[in-house]
Structure 1
Amino acid sequence: MNKDKVLSIRNLSISFQTSAGEVNAIRGVNLDLYQGETLAIVGESGSGKSVTVKAIMGILSGNGKVKSGTIDFTSRKSGEEIKEELLSFSKKEMRRRINGRRIAMVFQDPMTSLNPTMPIGSQIMEGMRYHYKTSKKEAYEKAVKLLDLVGITEPEKRMKSYPHQLSGGMRQRVVIAIALSCDPEILICDEPTTALDVTIQAKILELIKDIQKKTGISVIYITHDLGVVAKVADYVAVMYAGKVVEKGLSEEIFYDPRHPYTWGLLSAMPDLDTNDEVLYTIPGSPFNLLNKTEGDAFAERNRFALNIDYRLEPPMFEVTETHYAATWLLHENAPAVSMPEALKERIKRMGEEVHSLGGE
């Protein structure tokens, strides 16, 4: 890839001390984010998606501890290249130098992000006034422009509105406007459309894509909805039990998945064209991260598991220069196992549908 790298996570491991014992929530995560691209991190609840991005933002809860790893952020905002190791900053330094200013986050529920006692205009202006000491007049004018950018009609009139006077979709647009107010280089979206209905979801996704085209911002998307991923992502990382088990370009993950867990996630997507009467589910329960892992954490739920899966954790095998998967099925001595026939059919249909719509 010739694009500039803006974020590089290497060997990140995070644990949480709980009353039940130590939870190893993140176990050696490696990820890269490039200029102007969208990285989607997908997986079931509890796979470590949100903990990974909270580490980037420096907002881990008090019982969280980074055991190893680095998070390198390369800023080019000032015209020169500045490299910073985010894990070396204190929470206070993160708030002053990074959060909102260079890396901004849009959370799942807009009502938890907005102050119910302040007009939305003041909330959009707050970051600019704090980080850049922008004058009140300039901040006001930029806030109106941002409301217009995120598709809120009569933006000047809406500046005086309180969060409870807006619909869920409008509140989420306001949260995005706040996130963009200081021109960050990275926008992290943690399931930003989960609480919204389907038509509003589509509009919010289009909005973020549109803003990305206009500003060149890099985006990290956290989601368990593979339908969302198909619409927005350039690159996809699939997480399971605190590890990245497969990563690749969006089309590689959708059209040539190699990890049995990714097969399961794709098979579990609702499909109107299937003849199956029952929706596919991945058997068993997610791995309990209180337990020590011997071998592959997915082995107990994997009907394609080999004997070695119960003894040794698989390394990342290279499929292409951009596509990697952590499964022993890719070892040269492994038996030939391919994805389930039903999934092959589904992928074929997806490809034909994209082609008929004039896609690639």
Structure 2
Amino acid sequence: MSETKEQILKIRDLDITFQTTAGSVHAIRGVNIDLMKGETVAIVGESGSGKSVTMKAAMGILASNAKVTGGTIEFSYHHADGTPQTVDILTKDKKWIRRHINGKRIAMVFQDPMTSLDPTMTIGKQIMEGMIWHFKTPKKEAWDKAVELLKEVGIEDAEKRMKNYPHQLSGGMRQRVVIAIALACNPDLLICDEPTTALDVTIQAKIIELIRRVQKERGISVIYITHDLGVVAKVADYVNVMYAGKIVEKGMINEIFYDPKHPYTWGLLSAMPDLDTADERLYTIPGSPPNLLNEKPGDAFAPRNQFALEIDDKADPPMFQVTDTHYAATWLLDPRAPKAEMPPELKERIARMKKEAKIDDGE
């Protein structure tokens, strides 16, 4: 770990507003994310918290009614001859991004494989397309590479599957094909947007394992977008917890799981299904996410926060530093704030998780 890691993605003060018929929606509010080469960062939060929008901005594929009102997205990569380059993606036009970034250096695995695959094209053609477009790979070579990729992502009878259409495959196989397409141009960064949502639990585990294996073998960086903290525990090095377009807590995986500081993170961890809990009902965070059409002063989470202080209605909390790698935006960390403990049920659950982790480590 002593070697200094190379930074691949650096997002600073990203601000995005959507123009809608009802008015402007301030969807992303000052987001900062760092990603190093070979690492996995997870972005966690409820639907609508801004996870996917942030990453679509990094790929230059925002909707036409989105306006970036501030910030930078610096992406660092190496050219074929080894010379390093860092670009601010927000300053580039769509054509340049398509040619140099999308699929070639940053690839995305979307939620639903059926919407990201072309139903009129064979699987083989869809995997070969990127190689031919970006690298002018000869057809025969692209075909052989595509067959290898299908084998790499665990699809049996790859030669035969190349001629199949998406509807002829199961959901799990389609998701594997989407991953093969994403890997076709050997990208530096793989963004996985809820890659297991539409799949059953056993297939989910296999897809997660597949992404982990590919990452290890190829040394690529991965960003996971998910609302499922169970998935995060298996894959991430660092976690960013997002709420209402802001990052409210970030830290290393163990810090977020075993020593969370933000009441929203407490809620997310409490909402994870747990077989050992005495309570028969599954915990849910009260209330619902705010409507970003009418922005209110103060902390966006305050109306749902049982630990909210008076200041939460007046001022947005800054990021308080807990350790060198752990930060949380909650007034509870202010030295003047009354002491608030995490709910006792969550405390017990974390103690159990720690114990299980120790057992696993000792196996």
Which of the five TM-score ranges fits, normalised by the shorter chain?
over 0.9
Q: Following TM superposition, by how much is the alpha carbon of 1:351 offset from its aligned partner in structure 2, in angstroms? A: 0.9
Look up the match of 1:97: 100
Look up the match of 2:72: 70
Look up the match of 1:10: 12
SS of the residue 1:212 aligns to: helix
User: What CA distance in whole angstroms lies between the structure 1 residues aligned with 2:344 and 2:245?
Assistant: 29
8 Å CA contact 1:77, 1:185 repeated in 2: no
Amino acid in structure 1 at the alignment position of 2:70: S
Q: What CA deviation, in whole Å up to 9, does each residue of 1:204-239 have, x standing for no partner?
A: 000000000000010000000000000011000000
Structure 2 residue 217 is matched with structure 1 residue 225: no
Q: Following TM superposition, by how much is the alpha carbon of 1:293 offset from its aligned partner in structure 2, in angstroms? A: 2.7
User: What CA distance in whole angstroms lies between the structure 2 residues aligned with 1:250 and 1:222?
Assistant: 15
8 Å CA contact 1:116, 1:163 repeated in 2: yes
Look up the match of 1:22: 24
Structure 2 residue 59 is matched with structure 1 residue 57: yes
Count, aligned residues: 360
User: What CA distance in whole angstroms lies between the structure 1 residues aligned with 2:333 and 2:13?
Assistant: 22
8 Å CA contact 1:7, 1:71 repeated in 2: yes
Q: Following TM superposition, by how much is the alpha carbon of 1:76 offset from its aligned partner in structure 2, in angstroms? A: 2.7
Selected match of 1:45 from 44, 47, 53: 47
8 Å CA contact 1:121, 1:140 repeated in 2: yes
SS of the residue 2:104 aligns to: coil
The alignment's TM-score, normalised by the length of structure 1, stands at 0.98
Look up the match of 1:138: 141
Q: Following TM superposition, by how much is the alpha carbon of 1:359 offset from its aligned partner in structure 2, in angstroms? A: 6.0
Amino acid in structure 1 at the alignment position of 2:346: L
Look up the match of 2:173: 170
Q: What CA deviation, in whole Å up to 9, does each residue of 1:234-271 have, x standing for no partner?
A: 00000000000000001100000000000000001111
Structure 2 residue 88 is matched with structure 1 residue 85: yes
Could you list the runs of 4 or more consecutive aligned residues of structure 1 that deviate by over 4 angstroms after TM superposition?
none
Q: What CA deviation, in whole Å up to 9, does each residue of 1:180-199 have, x standing for no partner?
A: 00000000000010000000
Selected match of 1:234 from 231, 237, 256: 237
Q: Following TM superposition, by how much is the alpha carbon of 1:277 offset from its aligned partner in structure 2, in angstroms? A: 2.0
Q: What CA deviation, in whole Å up to 9, does each residue of 1:85-120 have, x standing for no partner?
A: 100111111111100000000000101111111110
Question: More deviation in 204-213 or 71-80?
Answer: 71-80
Amino acid in structure 1 at the alignment position of 2:296: T
Q: Following TM superposition, by how much is the alpha carbon of 1:80 offset from its aligned partner in structure 2, in angstroms? A: 2.2
SS of the residue 1:357 aligns to: helix
Superposed CA RMSD in Å reads 1.1
User: What CA distance in whole angstroms lies between the structure 2 residues aligned with 1:321 and 1:357?
Assistant: 27
Matches within 5 A, 1:1-360: 2-76=4-78, 78=80, 79-358=82-361
User: What CA distance in whole angstroms lies between the structure 2 residues aligned with 1:358 and 1:315?
Assistant: 36
Describe the shift of the 1:99–1:176 C-alpha distance in structure 2 as closer, same or farther (beyond 3 A): same
Gaps of 5+ in 2: none
User: What CA distance in whole angstroms lies between the structure 1 residues aligned with 2:135 and 2:283?
Assistant: 51
User: What CA distance in whole angstroms lies between the structure 1 residues aligned with 2:342 and 2:320?
Assistant: 17
Question: More deviation in 75-84 or 243-252?
Answer: 75-84
